[in-house]
Structure 1
Amino acid sequence: MKHWNLGNTTIRNPDRIREGLGVLKEHFEGKPFTEKEHYEFYKFLAKKRIIDSGDLSKSSCEIAGRKWAACFNQLGLSIAWKSKGPVIITDVGNALLNHPENEEEIFLRQFIKYHLPSPIESGSEYKGFNVNPFYVVLKLLFDLENEANIKGITKEEISLYVITCINNDNIEQSKRSIIEYRAQYSGIKGKVKKRELFNKKKLELIKLLYKKEIDNKIVVINEYEKLYRSNAVDRDKLASLLSEIVEGGKGSKTKRATDLKREISDRIKNNDKAGAISALTGIFLETKGRTLFDYADTTVRYTAKTGLLSISGDRIVIKEDKRLLAKHIIDNFAVINEGAYLEQYYSASTPQLPSDKTDFIHRNIGTLVEHYKPIISKTTVNKLSNIKIVGDINALKSIQIKLENEILKAKEEQYYLSQSSSEMIKDILGYYNKILDRSLLGGDAYRPAYLEWTTWRLFLAIDSIVNHISETRNFKIDEELHPIHHAASGKPDMVFEYDKYVIVCEVTLRVGENQWAEEEPVPRHVAKTMEQYDKPVYGIFIAPSIHVETANEYFRKLKHIKGKWQKVNIVPLTIDQIKHILTIFDEERFNTTQLRSLLDSLIELQLKTDLPNEWLKLISKKIKQW
């Protein structure tokens, strides 16, 4: 192995870890963890809707269940191996289950300790490793900004130079490589040319990292050809050699591996050994490149769980209000002695964090006040001027949390006012494009949250909202105002109150016939909101495409509200249509009264047809002409 993976590509979304661990504890703690339990664990995860079960074979279910547990084992949350006896939920795992409010701190402690190799992850595949992955990420982020004025690291840079840093002593080399790559990248114009640079660097890196493995496979191809040309053809041996040539992380029986075996065999038959080698190296390089990209995504998602980092555009960055904490961790970093590793790794109280000390919290509060003084109220600054008299650690933490909440509220208000600028509208449209083409930093796991966040920003841009900005969304944002989780079920994604009416907005990435059927159907959300307001309520449903069954569900919809049957007005729109509306806003700056007129006109189109699919066509035509 030539790289590390902080996290697990089976659990691409670490927000599911706590729920999955709860299932392991409830049903398997104290029991053996054999293939039978692997299968049952997977089935429980599917039953709880923590995962989408799909149509998997029994063996695939067993593998998936084992991989889920492997993630918990890697993070020190459990001891759940077939060879280790009954399942144990560790002190850390129980802390995560019992204190979800401390989730960021728990992940931070674990990632500070996490080292490769370790008693948990060892063997020949870790030859040459002596690395603390989170320390590598944090150190590079901090040094690049302070020494080279490079704020944040991109997914490409993580895949090339971060996860391939397998020794703490090589951080300096990774830093120089990122600086050099960024300079070349910045000097190139056009997305195509920039992509070509990345692909070139990626191929060079993979050829360097895996030269021995590629050479060994070419040796086997030569052996295969020699045997094929011999008079005494051993078909079993030929089949064995082919399997050895194409075998990868998922074995030699996948469709891709089977197709490659056929191609290599055909090329050898046709005296095209060069073509066989080219086919092999092409697939090999493509697979390894995809792996590096996947691991970059999980690195982003898992490190963000510490609360120190945030995603800003196409980069991961240190949060501004966490810089002091990040610096303290870097300056005081120490590798755990191997003999004490497991004891400390399974402990929820180690290592001690600077945030456990009163003097650090004093300094951090002072730094926050100084940095954010222009946006927080004068009253708050005055109240905090005598903070040094407070010595109780819990009281100090409470003060810090209140300050951070006020800062977030003030930042959110400023953010609201900035969204109507052409620059921000361009950024909103760019995020919609990233969601549609699946190019978000962090991968597909972040798409639902980013779709909600991007749509929220769209309505902030149109402005004139009556309710407080923090009350318009039911999804969570971090200190940098980026989404960290999509809205919980049972509540609408967003509610925007205007002077004369209210909009309930729901978004989804589903495109099938059940796309309207979320945990709680959209009409119910709109109906509940209608009960709360004495003004008209409009539902807006946004998806990549609108299925005709969704249109049918919303077409002339009636609900029993306030003791009588009332029409529930919901307008289904595609992402492209809502992008078009935003583009018109940027050009013409229509107001919320005009937006309401558009919604009324789209609803009135129901009177022109009795067919929901025709209604969708009329909506499309109307928006294009608006």
Structure 2
Amino acid sequence: MANSWHIGNTTVRTPYRLRDALIALAHSEYHGNLVGKSRESGFARLLHEKGILKAERIDQDDSQDFSDLGRKWRSALAQLGFVIQHLTRGHQKGIDPKYKDFIKEHPDFSGAPYEATPNGINLINANTIPAQQECFLRALVAYRIPSVFETRYKFKQFSPLRHILEILKNFENKKAEPVIKFWEMAILQLTNPENGYDNITNHILKYREERERSDNKKRFDSEMRLKETCGNTTMARTLKDYADLNIRYFKATGLFQSSGKGITISPGKRILVEKFLENEFAVYDDNTYIKKIWTGAALPTDNKETAQTVIRSFVDNIKEFGEEIVLPKLEDKTPQELSIIRHDIEGRLSQIKENKFANKQIGNWEEILCYMLALENPRKKVPFNDEMISIPPGEAPAYFEWVLWRAFLAIDSLTNKPWEARRFKIDQDFLPIAPAPGRGPDLIFEFTDFVLVVEVTLTSSSRQEAAEGEPVRRHVAKIAEQHENTGKRVYGLFIALNIDSNTAETFKSGNWYKPDDSKLPLQIIPIRLDDFSKLFEAGFKAEGLSPNKIRELITECRALSNYDAPEWKRQITNEVERLIKQITKGK
């Protein structure tokens, strides 16, 4: 049975969070000093404190051993060369003995395990998604298995990224759909170039045909995975997790976009892919691999002519959307300047596509509602058309913000841009990468005559008030201060699965005091997600939910804030039900 290969690990499912972890590591006592259980546990606690890692067991008992979590994150960073890998067992700090010869040849590298590498530093400094994707691309172009860092594989060295691109190219040559579907990735993880691309693609095309004829596709996929793993039920189940990981990490390169639950080559990156495949594959010896994975591989766009071609292809793409962009004289630019221009134009193209995405949300309200229902019942899959909607494991906080963003894009009438309304980042498929960073609201929606600040949380019980009470009020106050001279009233909407009475009590206070002790009135109400989703559904079944209805709800609920917190919560639910009846009757 073939070895199943995969990138990342099931603890670190979202590649973009590696940057946050790397920044935390680089500014901590663990940078270059991350060997041993106590330090590994400390690193896990650090990531938890920064909101990068969510682990209930750390909250429950901080004195326990969390070294397994620290090692998982450390391993994911080292696998892609963002930090220096640890090779010598028993070595604690300083230059790893196995790197001494390498360091003599390459004195620019420290050789100290778990210090950030040059490509790691590039990732830290990458402030935009295109720049981060380039770091992941350089890492995965260099990435080889087996290697000096991953010796468990028993086949000839190959590049997983190139392997997947060659398979897609073969699909195109056979006039087949050039997509790798989720269930196909689960099988392709068991293959490598030694299997022959003709054999691999024929095998997958046969799988597609047989699956299409199957009446129970879920069972068919399970049986296929079991067959491919020679009856190993544990490995067959694991293949699904690995498929999810590989798809996420390949997408992080920017070369791919989603196609259902699978991936296909992004049209805007086709030139880059073609140039990459033109180069002959190189097998790396240990020292060559170490240097490549730590610095990041050279890319076709490092060549001035190729970089100019890619930039012009992005400009052509922008023109297809009916917009013009003026380019400087590219021939006079250095490779570094061309890289900045390319990232800027790619960012502009992303904004154009995001505007198109935003305009479509009013027609996608039923899908948005299904995601809300999935958030209300995390263990339950919600049927929508021919698919089942669920929240990816560990990503509920990001998806909570994302679905509310989409909900208000559907409500429409925004005067700020879609990317101005969210503080979380999205990928090329408009999916959330991570929750919004701290020190600010989750979502800010500006309408013609008022502003709505939306904050969401999955936190419950009395911890909810401690975690959200003061920050939410402070965030709303900050936005209210910014609009004191615009004439726009600022409202706050706090949405959670359940509202703790202590949280409601905090929001009952309608005032916030500035540093000069002047009083700023706040208009915030807490509302359960199920109440909001019912209102959202009723509004769109009645041909749309207007921003004024949301403002009416907040105003009416604030008028009832003299009740004790438990009763105020009940009154808010009653007001939602009253508004739903009003909308249903067409008033």
Q: 1:335 to 1:512 in 2, by over 3 A?
A: farther
| Matched residue type, 2:494 | F
1:601 correspondence with 2:556:
yes
Tell me, yes or no, if the aligned pair for 2:525 and 2:557 is still in contact at 8 Å. Answer: yes
1:305 to 252, 263, 276: 252
| 1:78 alignment partner in structure 2 | 84
Question: What stretches of structure 2 of length at least 5 have no aligned partner?
Answer: 94-111, 382-388, 583-587
1:179 correspondence with 2:134:
no
| Matched residue type, 1:307 | G
The SS at the match of 1:404 is helix
| 1:194 alignment partner in structure 2 | 217
The SS at the match of 1:513 is helix
| Matched residue type, 1:17 | L
| Matched residue type, 2:480 | M
Q: 1:478 to 1:37 in 2, by over 3 A?
A: closer
| 2:147 alignment partner in structure 1 | 118
Q: 1:554 to 1:300 in 2, by over 3 A?
A: farther
2:307 to 349, 352, 361: 361
1:493-512 alignment runs, 5 A limit: 493-512=442-461
Cα distance between partner residues in 1 of 2:573 and 2:214:
43
1:206 to 214, 222, 229: 229
Deviation at 1:371, TM superposition (A): 2.8
Cα distance between partner residues in 2 of 1:187 and 1:545:
45
Cα distance between partner residues in 1 of 2:192 and 2:343:
36
Tell me, yes or no, if the aligned pair for 1:425 and 1:458 is still in contact at 8 Å. Answer: yes
> Which structure shows the higher helix fraction?
1
| 1:235 alignment partner in structure 2 | none
Deviation at 1:34, TM superposition (A): 3.6
| 1:444 alignment partner in structure 2 | 393
Q: Which moved more, 1:450-459 or 1:315-324?
A: 315-324
Tell me, yes or no, if the aligned pair for 1:153 and 1:316 is still in contact at 8 Å. Answer: yes
Tell me, yes or no, if the aligned pair for 2:257 and 2:266 is still in contact at 8 Å. Answer: yes
> 1:117-145: CA deviations, max 9, x gaps?
1111114xx22464422223333445546
Q: 1:472 to 1:580 in 2, by over 3 A?
A: same
2:511 to 538, 549, 558: 558
Cα distance between partner residues in 1 of 2:553 and 2:212:
43
| 1:580 alignment partner in structure 2 | 534
Cα distance between partner residues in 2 of 1:430 and 1:168:
43
Cα distance between partner residues in 1 of 2:529 and 2:355:
26
| Matched residue type, 2:145 | L
The TM-score, its normalising length taken from structure 1, stands at 0.75
The SS at the match of 1:514 is helix
Q: 1:539 to 1:524 in 2, by over 3 A?
A: same
| 1:332 alignment partner in structure 2 | 279
Cα distance between partner residues in 2 of 1:397 and 1:579:
44
The SS at the match of 2:229 is helix
Cα distance between partner residues in 1 of 2:390 and 2:134:
23
The SS at the match of 1:83 is coil
Cα distance between partner residues in 2 of 1:3 and 1:515:
42
Deviation at 1:495, TM superposition (A): 1.0
Deviation at 1:616, TM superposition (A): 5.0
Cα distance between partner residues in 1 of 2:461 and 2:180:
36
Tell me, yes or no, if the aligned pair for 2:147 and 2:286 is still in contact at 8 Å. Answer: no
Tell me, yes or no, if the aligned pair for 2:19 and 2:124 is still in contact at 8 Å. Answer: no
1:164 correspondence with 2:119:
no
Deviation at 1:605, TM superposition (A): 4.2
Cα distance between partner residues in 1 of 2:262 and 2:200:
17
Number of aligned residues: 537
The SS at the match of 1:153 is coil
Q: 1:368 to 1:18 in 2, by over 3 A?
A: closer
1:5 correspondence with 2:6:
yes
1:25-424 alignment runs, 5 A limit: 26-28=28-30, 33-46=35-48, 48-51=50-53, 52=55, 53-55=58-60, 60-76=65-81, 77-81=83-87, 83=89, 85=91, 86=93, 87-88=112-113, 89=115, 91-92=117-118, 94-96=120-122, 99-101=125-127, 102-123=131-152, 126-128=153-155, 130-141=157-168, 143-144=170-171, 147-148=174-175, 150=177, 152-159=179-186, 161-167=187-193, 169-186=195-212, 193-208=216-231, 210=232, 285=233, 287-311=234-258, 313-332=260-279, 334-348=281-295, 350-378=296-324, 380=325, 383-384=326-327, 387=329, 389-421=331-363, 424=364
Q: 1:146 to 1:27 in 2, by over 3 A?
A: farther
Deviation at 1:29, TM superposition (A): 5.2
| Matched residue type, 1:327 | E
The TM-score, its normalising length taken from structure 2, stands at 0.80
Cα distance between partner residues in 2 of 1:187 and 1:579:
38
| Matched residue type, 1:343 | I
Cα distance between partner residues in 1 of 2:579 and 2:238:
42
Cα distance between partner residues in 2 of 1:20 and 1:580:
38
Tell me, yes or no, if the aligned pair for 1:420 and 1:462 is still in contact at 8 Å. Answer: yes
The SS at the match of 2:433 is strand
Tell me, yes or no, if the aligned pair for 1:546 and 1:574 is still in contact at 8 Å. Answer: yes
Question: What stretches of structure 1 of length at least 5 have no aligned partner?
Answer: 211-284
Deviation at 1:503, TM superposition (A): 0.9
Cα distance between partner residues in 2 of 1:497 and 1:40:
42
| 2:493 alignment partner in structure 1 | 540
Which of these two proteins has the greater Rg computed from alpha carbons?
A: 1
Tell me, yes or no, if the aligned pair for 1:390 and 1:396 is still in contact at 8 Å. Answer: no
| Matched residue type, 1:568 | L
Q: Which moved more, 1:487-496 or 1:410-419?
A: 410-419
Tell me, yes or no, if the aligned pair for 1:300 and 1:441 is still in contact at 8 Å. Answer: no
Deviation at 1:295, TM superposition (A): 1.8
Cα distance between partner residues in 2 of 1:21 and 1:606:
45
Tell me, yes or no, if the aligned pair for 1:514 and 1:550 is still in contact at 8 Å. Answer: no
Q: Which moved more, 1:332-341 or 1:524-533?
A: 332-341
Q: 1:81 to 1:605 in 2, by over 3 A?
A: farther
Q: Which moved more, 1:12-21 or 1:114-123?
A: 12-21
1:456-495 alignment runs, 5 A limit: 456-495=405-444
| Matched residue type, 2:125 | H
Tell me, yes or no, if the aligned pair for 1:513 and 1:547 is still in contact at 8 Å. Answer: yes
Sequence identity (%): 27
Q: 1:406 to 1:521 in 2, by over 3 A?
A: same
Root mean square deviation, CA, Å? 3.4
